[in-house]
Structure 1
Amino acid sequence: MQEKRLYEYSVIRLVPKVEREEFINVGIILFSKEAKFIKVEYIVDQEKIKYFSKDNTFDIDCIINALEAFKKISIGESTGRGIAAMGIAERFRWLTSERSTMIQTSRPHPGFSSDLNQTFLKLFNELVM
């Protein structure tokens, strides 16, 4: 039997209009320092986003670009500079810090898992889909 590893996860949220403080769960970031594991996935449901604006003024490409940048930073994919060049734990802490932008995260939540990929899928399906 595999040993259980401590992990932390945050829900990635799209906050289309920051001043209204309404959000849509669009992804998950899961991190385990012990396992040197970090995984991020997101999905942009355009139908859900339409309910947040009467005039449908959201730039979907801008949203996707912001989420893709978030994902690239989290996995360290970059030119090797800045935040993406930091260690896994530092990147997770930076990405889950409080901010008032279109892409935000929940507070980190801890857990134990013997299969981090399976736990990630479970969380993604429960909290995002």
Structure 2
Amino acid sequence: MSDRHVFEYALLRVVPRIERGECVNAGVLVYCRPKSYVGARTHLDEARLLALDPTADLPGVRAALRAVERVCAGGDAAGQAAGDDAGRRFRWLIAPRSTIVQPGPVHTGLTADPAAETERLLDLLVR
């Protein structure tokens, strides 16, 4: 039997001006049902974001990204999502929304270590 498990992931994108359709990748969400894992890692390239929109609300974007990480972590910091299982929190976070921080499409893969996969995807797709 393989020690690798199916996981799902989505990028977090910052869309500073929806009418222009430009975005900056700022994080990754990973969900692995067999491991009951949901995690997020974020990295905001502020210079890149400001190149798209010099008036972007950096503190607001940073706060939104931290909120995603808190929901993934669960516990009291997750607010209303604290009692939800990992899958429910992931599904809530990937739901389409029209805010400045938006989830991208969901993709799948195989991993033995979802936490390490989260970091690998952050390095590959965001940093």
Using structure 2 for the length normalisation, give the TM-score: 0.89
Residue matched to 2:107? 109
3-state SS of 2:29 partner: strand
1:43 and 1:81 map into 2 onto residues whose CA distance is: 22
CA shift at 1:2, angstroms?
Answer: 6.3
5+ residue gaps, structure 2, are none
What aligned pairs does 1:49-128 form with structure 2 within 5 A after superposition?
49-53=49-53, 56-78=54-76, 81-128=79-126
Partner of 2:35: 35
1:74, 1:84 within 8 Å by CA — same for their partners in 2?
no
Equivalent position amino acid for 2:12 in 1:
I
Q: Which amino acid aligns with 1:73?
A: V
Deviations 1:59-89 (A, max 9, x none): 2111111111111112214367523321110
Amino acid at match of 1:114: A
TM-score calculated relative to the size of structure 1: 0.88
Counterparts of 1:113 and 1:62, CA distance in 2: 33
SS in 2 for 1:34: helix
**Residues 82-104 of structure 1: per-residue CA shift (max 9 Å, x gap):** 23321110110010011111111
Task: Supply the distance in 1 between the matched residues of 2:77 and 2:126 (Cα, whole angstroms).
Answer: 30
1:110 is paired with a residue of what secondary structure? strand
- Counterpart of 1:88, as a letter, is A
**Structure 1 residues not aligned, in runs of 5+:** none
Letter in 2 for 1:8: E
Tell me, in whole angstroms, the C-alpha distance in 2 between the residues paired with 1:114 and 1:83. 26
Identity over aligned residues, as a percent? 27
Q: Given residue 95 of structure 1, which amino acid in structure 2 is its aligned partner? A: L
Are residues 11 and 80 of structure 1, via their aligned partners in 2, closer, same or farther at CA, if it must alter by over 3 Å? closer
Q: CA RMSD in A?
A: 1.8
Q: What letter corresponds to residue 75 of structure 1 in structure 2?
A: A
Q: 1:51 is paired with a residue of what secondary structure?
A: helix
Q: Which one has the bigger helix percentage? A: 2
Distance 1:80 1:7, change over 3 A: closer
